[in-house]
Amino acid sequence: MYPAENLRYAKNINKDCSVNTRFGGKIKNMSPDEGPPPPPSALSGLFSEMLIVLGVLLAILLIWIGQLIGKFGTGVDMPKIAFVLKSLGAALSSGALIGGAILNRNINERVRLAMCFIAGLIILVMLAVIA
C-alpha cells in the first residue's frame, strides 16, 4: 500500500500531462474550450428555461387578448386598449427571449442566436404596426 501522502498528490506518470492527480485518479489536461462552466450570475436564475417559456406564453396570451378586444370591443377606447395589450405582449416576449439568450449559458449557441433573431422579428413587426 502507498502512504496517504503519495496517493493524495502523486505525480502523473504521463509526461504529456503536467497536472497532479488526487486520490489515485487521473486528471487530463483541460483546454480552454473544455473548462468548467462559468459560475451562475444573479440574473441567470431569472431566465431559466421554464421562466423563458412561461414569459413567452404569457406574452402570447396578452397578444391574443388584445386581438380579441380589438375585434369584438365596442367602446371608443377599445382600439387603444387592444394596442397597449399587444405592445405589452410583444415587449414581454422579446424581453424574455433576449434576456434568456444572453444570460442563460445552458442553452445551445445556435438556439440562443435563433432566440435573438425571433425577438428581433417581433420587435420589427411591432415597429411596422406602429408606423
Structural domain boundaries in the chain = 7-34, 45-130
| Phi, psi torsion values for 20, nearest 5 degrees | -85, 155
The string of pLDDT tens digits covering residues 68-104 is: 999 998 889 999 999 999 999 999 999 999 999 998 8
- Please give the model's pTM, rounded to 2 decimal places: 0.65
The number of CA neighbours under 13 Å toward the Cβ of 85 is: 18
DSSP 39: P
Residue 10, phi then psi, degrees to nearest 5? -85, 140
What counts of helices (H) and strands (E) characterise the chain?
A: 4, 2
Residues (pLDDT < 50) of the chain are 5-16, 18, 20-23, 25-26
Which amino acid, 98? I
